[in-house]
Amino acid sequence: MARQRRSQASSGADGKGNKDKGANSSSSNGSNPPKPIKSTGGILSYWKHFIGFSCFAIAVGVGYMGYLETRVNTPYDEKKMVVRSGLDIPERFWGSYRPGVYFGLKTRDPYSLITGLMWYFPKELKPGGDGIRHWCEQGDGLEKYGWLQHDGSSFGVQEIHDGPFVITTSFVKRLGGTHGGDWTARITVDIKPGRKVPEDRKEVSLIWYSVLDDNSNGYIKPSNTGSFLTGVRGETPGLGEFTIKLFNYTGTVEHESYLSTITPGLHLLKETIISSMRLAEIKPSRVRSVVLAGELLPATGATKAQPNFIATQVGSKVPFTLDVVFESGSFGTRQNTLVGDVYSEALTWHQSRFVQRFEDTFHLKTKGYGAKEINFAQAALSNMIGGIGYFYGTSRVQSAYTKEPVPYWRAALYTAVPSRSFFPRGFLWDEGFHGLLISAWDLDIELDIICHWFDLMNVEGWIPREQILGAEALAKVPEEFVTQRNTNANPPTFFLTLDYILHKYKDQLTNGRLITLERLYPRLQAWFSWFNTTQKGLEPGTYRWRGRDPLTNRELNPKTLTSGLDDYPRASHPTENERHVDLRCWIAIASGTLANLATLLGRNSYKYYQTHSYLTDNNLMDALHWSDYAQRYADYGYHTDAVELQRPKLSPRSQTPQNLEMVRVMKKNPEYRLVDSTYGYVSLFPFLLRLLEPDSPKLNKTLTDIRMPTLLWTKYGLRSLSKNSPLYMKRNTEHDPPYWRGQIWININFLAVLALNYYSVTEGPYQEHAKEVYKELRANIINNVMKQYYETGYIWEQYNDRTGKGSGCRPFTGWSALTVLLMSEHY
Ligand SMILES: *[C@@H]1O[C@H](CO)[C@@H](O)[C@H](O)[C@H]1NC(C)=O
Ligand SMILES: *[C@@H]1O[C@H](CO)[C@@H](O)[C@H](O)[C@H]1NC(C)=O
Ligand SMILES: *[C@@H]1O[C@H](CO)[C@@H](O)[C@H](O)[C@H]1NC(C)=O
């Protein structure tokens, strides 16, 4: 899927052309001399007799343009949101904060000791290192992987199915001392029940590595104390002194080797391992095996360079269990080491505590669900929680005033991710949905996540929507998609999270949590204000997503990546007169949430209530967006339905290559109108975000329409675009398959279920009707997401509207995991 990814490719249009681009005075190549700025013109003419006037003019020009230029990467000037980080919160210091790898632990520290697992089956190892597992890659073709249990702070259990093998990875933390305590990770490799593997194919090689970021002060060294397997000892400012020891808990070690070297970067760990692999004869069996090369360190004068990367490879036969024991030097005296049976017991204890907490939170057993359903729900929650990462680095951003992209400030981000394989990084619009489930599980984790995101706000009130921080994250994103533009919005879904928190956990918002909300409030105001001004439309009370390309002739309907709904059809010809009904609804609920928060905090809420009641006035909304003709809400813009993609015809003698790309042709000219032949998610927003009055006949109409199989209704949830919409399941270019043009998406379905629940419990003439549809839709979504999980091993990005099958990327345990909240009706 190319969500947000393609955004930058096509968003070159916004911000250009309407602003004076030539005025980038600090660019080094000098090809664009600074143009005088209007406001300084008077001063210039007055001073023109004086020697040195040109210096002065340039100084003013540079000063002013410099100011505009630096706004994009100047932090918002208020108290920082994150006031406790790193070791201030010892229980969240260590964690599985690397969602992009199958298994690894690091700390919530800008420069951390990073540990992780790679594995391969020697018989499957291909030249070039193909077959070594490390990063979560769809191309590895694993039948299934993901957390079965994870509580976000003290332990986790994951299962990975690789061919006939099942690999279980778990970790347990033990707090103590002043540096975040101890942990143990366990890796068990076994054969799947019912699968037969020939004796000579039962070999497995596990590689456990430790790496120090370039910027960490401290050292790591190979160490052989305590176990015959090579471990590590080291020291960093954050961790103090520590050791890592490896033990074979069950099964015998056939061969062991290690690597101690300098890796050029965190994104090249696998490459570093591969380049150190050697073939060696193992005594006494004399079998030839692939081993690691030992010390590979350049000599620097008399002394050897310090390694920053140490890996131990353990070769053995399945079944096999490896325990990796991290012990903090500051721990003091331990009763015992967290290894072997002691570890097993600790893990069992955590697991039963998890099961209890899960039931206390979601009440699935009480609601009558069986083991199969509960296991699914636990896995869904655990993948959301276990997918939380900690990233550190600089985004690349661009404004109309910077000629080239410029670095954002160095920042940390603690965030969940949409997909460990395909999107292992923070996404603004996803995160507000994630926040619903995360706050239900652990309110403090969610508030911590919110704090990190709002520290990424710049002085304009803008938050970049895709966060690519650090070498590992960057390595997963093609270069041309990295830059974020400050003209571009994304749905402000954090207002959904906050609304949920205010509504559901109001009585828990005391002390530190209240203080956090106090600090958040001015930033939310700035964020709101950014949306309310930069995204507004030409007419009062209208709003418009930026970033659509008005010039393209390649796209059937120019994408609106900023809306989060990518290729969902809008007006065929983007113009400034457009108005987008979904954005208007987002701003309406944002103002309402802000008003409620202001009231809670004893601030003046008047302005937000006023904007809220203005934007929720159904008459005004109808005047701008209701189509009497089609009886539905719609965008407004310069539009024609009569478009199609065609291959350009060539004259017979043309010299041009034959494979010219398809272009859009129009059969009818566009006109200003409501885009009301299209029916789908966007049409539903006044209903989805509960802006429709409960007694509005339009609610009745909506309830009737979404239940129609010819429009949006399927046995698996609501499809994104009705079957009779002109662009239903149409490709946007010959290279872009449909994405939000029919497929079923769980985040929007979740909003629909919430809305149906709301209208079924809110006094009004359509309560019963809403209740019926609520029950059916909720059941359909839960049943299908769960069915597909058991059939395919994964929760998916989207689901096919004809078959219910998962599509897009996997695992996708971001908002698709909201199914847990639907099961528990926890809203
Ligand atoms: C670990 O492996 C070694 C070497 O093969 C073996 O001697 C030892 O018995 C194994 N330990 C356990 C607990 O199986
Ligand atoms: C939002 O913008 C409109 C003008 O477009 C303004 O009238 C309104 O006061 C603004 N709302 C807030 C809360 O600033
Ligand atoms: C709601 O719409 C349905 C179908 O159009 C109609 O039969 C019904 O009478 C309406 N209900 C009310 C209360 O108006």
Q: What is the DSSP string of 571-595?
A: -SB--TT-B-HHHHHHHHHHHHHHH
Choose which residue among 695, 696, 704, 759 to substitute to test ligand 3 binding: the one with the highest number of ligand atoms within 8 A of its C-beta: 704
Report which bound ligand comes closest to the CA of 531: 2
Known catalytic residue at 797: yes
Q: What is the mean pLDDT of residues 472-476?
A: 90
List the residue whose alpha carbon is closest to atom 14 of ligand 2: 529
Report which bound ligand comes closest to the CA of 322: 1
> Is the minimum distance from the CB of 252 to ligand 1 under 6 angstroms?
yes
Instruction: Considering only residues 3 and 824, tell me which one the structure prediction assigns the higher pLDDT.
Output: 824
Pairing state between β 396-398 and 484-485: parallel
> Is the minimum distance from the CB of 609 to ligand 2 under 6 angstroms?
no
Least confident interval from 205-214, 576-585, 652-661: 652-661
Averaged pLDDT of the chain: 91
Report which bound ligand comes closest to the CA of 769: 3
Known catalytic residue at 566: yes
Centre of ligand 1 to C-alpha 129, Å, is 28
List the residue whose alpha carbon is closest to atom 2 of ligand 1: 252
List the residue whose alpha carbon is closest to atom 3 of ligand 2: 532
Centre of ligand 1 to C-alpha 243, Å, is 21
Report which bound ligand comes closest to the CA of 229: 1
pLDDT attached to residue 13: 30
Q: What pTM was computed for the model? A: 0.92
Least confident interval from 17-26, 302-311, 380-389: 17-26
Centre of ligand 3 to C-alpha 773, Å, is 14
Centre of ligand 1 to C-alpha 225, Å, is 16
C-alpha–C-alpha distance, residues 379 and 254, integer Å:
34
797-806 pLDDT, tens digit each: 999 999 999 9
* Nearest-atom index, ligand 2, CA of 541: 5
List the residue whose alpha carbon is closest to atom 10 of ligand 3: 700
Q: Catalytic one among 566, 635, 676, 705?
A: 566
pLDDT attached to residue 26: 33
Report which bound ligand comes closest to the CA of 708: 3
Centre of ligand 3 to C-alpha 700, Å, is 6
Those residues whose C-beta lies under 8 Å from the C-beta of residue 194, and which sit 6 or more positions away, are: none
CB 160 within 8 A of CB 142: yes
Residue 653 pLDDT class (50, 70, 90 cuts)? low
List the residue whose alpha carbon is closest to atom 9 of ligand 3: 700
Centre of ligand 3 to C-alpha 759, Å, is 15
Instruction: Considering only residues 30 and 619, tell me which one the structure prediction assigns the higher pLDDT.
Output: 619
> Is the minimum distance from the CB of 248 to ligand 1 under 6 angstroms?
yes
List the residue whose alpha carbon is closest to atom 7 of ligand 2: 611
Q: Is the pLDDT of residue 672 over 80?
A: yes
Q: What phi, psi does 216 have (nearest 5°)?
A: -75, 135
CB neighbour burial string for 652-679, b if at least 16 within 10 angstroms, e if fewer: eeeeeeeeeebbbeeeeebeebbbbbbb
Give the DSSP letter of residue 280: E
CB 742 within 8 A of CB 729: yes
List the residue whose alpha carbon is closest to atom 8 of ligand 1: 252
320-365 pLDDT, tens digit each: 999 999 999 999 889 999 999 999 999 999 999 999 999 999 999 9
Choose which residue among 611, 616, 624 to substitute to test ligand 2 binding: the one with the highest number of ligand atoms within 8 A of its C-beta: 611
Nearest Cα neighbor of 457 from 11, 15, 67, 78 is 78
C-alpha–C-alpha distance, residues 107 and 111, integer Å:
8
Nearest Cα neighbor of 284 from 319, 247, 254, 314 is 254
595-648 pLDDT, tens digit each: 999 999 999 999 999 999 999 999 999 999 999 999 999 999 999 999 999 998
Q: What is the mean pLDDT of residues 254-260?
A: 96
> Is the minimum distance from the CB of 608 to ligand 2 under 6 angstroms?
yes
Instruction: Name all residues whose Cβ lies below 6 A of ligand 3.
Output: 700, 704, 765
* Nearest-atom index, ligand 1, CA of 254: 5
CA distance from start to end of the chain:
30
Those residues whose C-beta lies under 8 Å from the C-beta of residue 689, and which sit 6 or more positions away, are: 585, 586, 588, 589, 751, 755
pLDDT attached to residue 24: 32
> Is the minimum distance from the CB of 536 to ligand 2 under 6 angstroms?
yes
Q: Is the pLDDT of residue 416 over 60?
A: yes
> Is the minimum distance from the CB of 125 to ligand 1 under 6 angstroms?
no
Domain boundaries, the chain: 102-362
CB 553 within 8 A of CB 663: yes
The residue type found at 467 is Q
pLDDT attached to residue 78: 83
Centre of ligand 3 to C-alpha 771, Å, is 14
Q: What is the mean pLDDT of residues 252-274?
A: 96
pLDDT attached to residue 265: 92
Centre of ligand 1 to C-alpha 202, Å, is 17
Q: What is the mean pLDDT of residues 587-592?
A: 98
C-alpha–C-alpha distance, residues 6 and 472, integer Å:
20
Q: What is the mean pLDDT of residues 137-165?
A: 97
* Nearest-atom index, ligand 2, CA of 529: 14
Centre of ligand 3 to C-alpha 696, Å, is 11
* Nearest-atom index, ligand 3, CA of 701: 2
C-alpha–C-alpha distance, residues 794 and 385, integer Å:
16
List the residue whose alpha carbon is closest to atom 6 of ligand 1: 252
- Cα distances (angstroms) measured from residue 395 to each of 409, 477, 809: 8, 12, 24
Give alpha helix (H) positions in 731-794. 746-761, 767-792
Within 13 Å of residue 778, how many CA atoms lie on the same side as its CB? 19
> Is the minimum distance from the CB of 253 to ligand 1 under 6 angstroms?
yes
Centre of ligand 3 to C-alpha 80, Å, is 52
Centre of ligand 3 to C-alpha 769, Å, is 9
Q: Is the pLDDT of residue 9 over 90?
A: no
* Nearest-atom index, ligand 1, CA of 248: 1
Angle of helix 581-600 versus helix 681-688 axis, rounded to 10: 20
pLDDT attached to residue 232: 98
Residue 213 pLDDT class (50, 70, 90 cuts)? confident
Residue 17 pLDDT class (50, 70, 90 cuts)? very low
> Is the minimum distance from the CB of 375 to ligand 2 under 6 angstroms?
no
pLDDT attached to residue 29: 33
Least confident interval from 54-63, 126-135, 611-620: 54-63
At the fourth CATH level, the homologous superfamily of domain 102-362 is Glycosyl hydrolase family 63, N-terminal domain (2.70.98.110)
Nearest Cα neighbor of 594 from 581, 582, 608 is 608
Indicate the SS3 state at residue 215.
coil
Percent of the chain having pLDDT more than 90?
84
* Nearest-atom index, ligand 2, CA of 607: 13
Q: Is the pLDDT of residue 788 over 60?
A: yes
Instruction: Considering only residues 65 and 121, tell me which one the structure prediction assigns the higher pLDDT.
Output: 121
pLDDT attached to residue 55: 46
Least confident interval from 44-48, 115-119, 164-168, 316-320: 44-48
Q: Judge residue 87's burial from the number of C-beta atoms within 10 Å of its C-beta, 0-12 exposed, 13-18 middle, 19 or more buried.
A: middle
Q: What is the mean pLDDT of residues 71-82?
A: 93
Indicate the SS3 state at residue 557.
coil
pLDDT attached to residue 284: 78
Q: Is the pLDDT of residue 718 over 90?
A: yes
Indicate the SS3 state at residue 273.
helix
C-alpha–C-alpha distance, residues 734 and 257, integer Å:
50
List the residue whose alpha carbon is closest to atom 4 of ligand 3: 704
Pairing state between β 294-296 and 253-261: parallel
- Secondary structure in 3-state letters for 518-545: HHHHHHHHHHHHHHHHHCECCCCCCECC
Those residues whose C-beta lies under 8 Å from the C-beta of residue 390, and which sit 6 or more positions away, are: 95, 97, 106, 107, 108, 112, 412, 413, 414
* Nearest-atom index, ligand 3, CA of 766: 13
pLDDT attached to residue 478: 85
Q: Is the pLDDT of residue 563 over 80?
A: yes
* Nearest-atom index, ligand 3, CA of 704: 4
- Token pair belonging to 474: 């960057």
C-alpha–C-alpha distance, residues 750 and 737, integer Å:
24
Longest pairwise C-alpha distance within the chain: 94
Report which bound ligand comes closest to the CA of 607: 2
Partners of residue 398 on adjacent β-strands? 485
Q: What phi, psi does 212 have (nearest 5°)?
A: -105, 130
Q: Catalytic one among 203, 635, 676, 797?
A: 797
Q: Is the pLDDT of residue 14 over 70?
A: no
* Nearest-atom index, ligand 2, CA of 540: 5
Residue 66 pLDDT class (50, 70, 90 cuts)? confident
Report which bound ligand comes closest to the CA of 249: 1
List the residue whose alpha carbon is closest to atom 2 of ligand 3: 700
Centre of ligand 1 to C-alpha 252, Å, is 4
C-alpha–C-alpha distance, residues 679 and 725, integer Å:
6
Q: What is the mean pLDDT of residues 77-88?
A: 94
Centre of ligand 3 to C-alpha 687, Å, is 17
C-alpha–C-alpha distance, residues 203 and 253, integer Å:
11
List the residue whose alpha carbon is closest to atom 1 of ligand 2: 532
CB 716 within 8 A of CB 777: no
